[in-house]
Structures are given as structure tokens and as C-alpha cells.
Structure 1
């Protein structure tokens, strides 16, 4: 049996939140008796994730379930190596592409065309390999007339179209998709779902976060449930989605 393409052991991410604290002091000397208030920062640790042990098999499509602030996006940022864990270990047995919030993964000053080649290069592809996929990326995104426009001038919907096309046609073993499909129109959403199923059939592993329960039920076989930074469970989509919906 092959090793899982993703494994985490005791994975945790801690942030330090600054709270302003008012401290009363009494001035001495000529202004004796006058009290002043000094605002001082206090840094408090906040664990966004802790003790996360998961295994994801190659070719699986996995829903990551959890309420707002549960740690889903933090997990994706750790897996995509945008941020480093505070504790624990991540093992990735393949290349990772991610589609997170608009703007992540693209250089805003570069054009759409330039960003296609930049992303391919970061994935270790040669210019010839990118050229071979270029027409498919453009056709899927439906943005041919905007390829020479800087990304910073794209709408959120245009960005998502190009980001998904780039991530799904350039060489990648793991694709992380965080909520972004909800920004697209219905026809592009359906086309993206069909493409993800095709990618999984070809051996790509996909992890998804979405508030659209129908998308998750239609496409995901497995699920991971996280609440308040803690792993609640991992298993089949049917079982975990039922318990998640009933909570």
C-alpha cells in the first residue's frame, strides 16, 4: 500500500494577538496629583490549530468541514507552505497548487499571461511544458482578451477563472481550493467541478472548503471536520457531513 500523499503529525499553528491594555499612572513633580492613562500592548497566544493528525490518499477529493474561525483556512495555508507551523510536522509527497482568497499566488503587477508562466516555473515546469498547456488554460479561463492586462485590474471573478485554470492545467499533485468557486457564475462553477473530477481520475488529490453544501456532496468522497482548531474527525463524506449538519 502506498504512503498517503498528505500526512500531518501533531500539527499546530499559534498566533500572538495584541490587545491594548489601559494602565493608570500618577504623574510626579510640578504636575503632582494628575493621573494619566498609558495604553500598553499585551500579546496573548491564540492557537488557530492544534494536535491535527490527518492522512489523505492520492486521488481523493476531500471536504474540509467546520464553522467560521474553525481553522480551515489556516490548515490550507500550512499545507501550501504560505506559513510555517508552530509545532508538529507536515509530509507532502507531491507538488501543491492552491486557490485561496483573491490575490494569493499571483504577482499583481504582472499580466495574466506572465502569471501563467510564473506559476508554471514555480511548479518546476519548463517553458516547453507550459507552452503545451497554455492554450487549454486560456480556453478554460475564457479570458483571452484580458491576458495582457495586469492582474491588479482583474475583478475577483476574473481572478478566480484564471487561478483555477492555471492550477488545474499546470502540473500539480495536490490542489487546495478554499471557497473561491462561490465567486464564479454557475456555468463556470459546473465546468470547474467537472474538471476537478477529471483531475482526481488522473491521480490529483483535491482538498476543498466551501459553504455550498451541494458542491461538497456532489464532488467529495472523504471529509475532515475541524472545530475551534481541533480535529473532530476524518472519514467518509456521508458520515461526517451528517454529523456536522446535525451539530
Structure 2
């Protein structure tokens, strides 16, 4: 199959392209780096020509409420319109666990808007909900830093390796459309404050992790169980300890 991967030059997209290629599919990475801009529509027609499936793992460059909402509405609208013109038969999108439960949180609201556009497009679809990636742990800690402390709520948290997210997206792309959602999460469930306290110690980071139930995440105060998947989710096999050891050895 020919599969266009929007965001195919990024963290997850590059892994998806590689996995699809290893399975014998023609995987076409499409991103601003390859001359494709979903916000303006530049390069979309050429990237989607002859594509059987489109995988969208792109992300907004800004997480500010209005900017991220505009990104997903505009980008997804342009992409779906181009898919209809090209006769694409399956749209696969990567989203996040918690969109339906927390539409009051800016980023989650934007992803939910994206999902609704996909659902209403008439194009057969599959949406992969993922928990937070191990690869973003440092960024999450930095965003929660206040002086020399990292403020984290004590809510359930089940992060996953990016490689296993890419595997779930690749699987969705080559199988029949779900016309629904599937979820992928890591094998271990933590309290968020405990995870980051242990993670910073493993990094040799001197910042202190302070438990703060009102500490914001993606602009909102998280509740139980906003950041963990529902029963029946696919669980990865890579633990954070194993991922960290492998990543440190690169």
C-alpha cells in the first residue's frame, strides 16, 4: 500500500515511516521538511496522490489554547479535503488519552475538535489514543518547574515508549478502519509526582519534586483518571527504567 505519513519527519512519524517500509509498504513522509504544509495546503495534493491510507501524527508548534485549536482545525480540515479529492480510503490519526473527559483543557479540546472533524468527514478512520511518551518526560518536568522545584500532582500516570506508539499507529494503518478509537499505554502505572521524583533522581537532576494537586498540566488541573487509559487498552512492554537505560546507551 501507499501510505502518506503527515508529520513523517518527527519523533513518531519517522518511526512509523520506518516500520511501514520494513513491512514492504510505500511510506511517504510528508511534513514542512519535505515541502508539505497542512496549514496552507502546500504540497498536499502531490503527497496524497495515489495514497491508500493517510496517517496524521503531526502536532501543533504552539500549545497555547487558541493557537493549538486553530492548528488542528485548519490542518485537519485541509488534510481531509485533500484526501477526498485523492480518494484516500482510510484516515489514521494519533491523539491523546483523555480528550473526551477533559474538553475544558486547551490541548485536549483541540484534539477533540480534530477527532470530531475526522468522525464527520465520511472517510473511514482509526484514531489511536496514546498516553504521554517517555521521550517527553524532560519537557513535562521543565514545564512544571517553579524556581528550583518541580510541581506535580499525585494523579495516575501511565507513560509509554514512542517506539510502541509508532507500532500501534503502524498496525492501525495496515488494518481495516476501526471507525472508532484504540488506546496504547505503557506497562506501568505510577503516581505522577512519584514518577518524576524517581525520574529526576535517575537523571541526576537536583530539582526537588513537590506534590501539588493544583499544579497545571496542559493548562488544566488533572483529576483521576484523566491520564490513564480505559480497560482494554493495549499495553506496551518497555518499562521506563529499561527505556532510560537503552536511551542513555545510545
Fold shared, TM-score > 0.5 on shorter chain: no
Q: Decide which structure has greater strand share.
A: 1
Report the structure number with the largest CA radius of gyration: 1
TM-score range, shorter chain: 0.3 to 0.5
TM-score, normalized by length of structure 1? 0.33
Larger relative contact order, structure 1 or 2 (CA cutoff 8 Å, min sep 6): 1
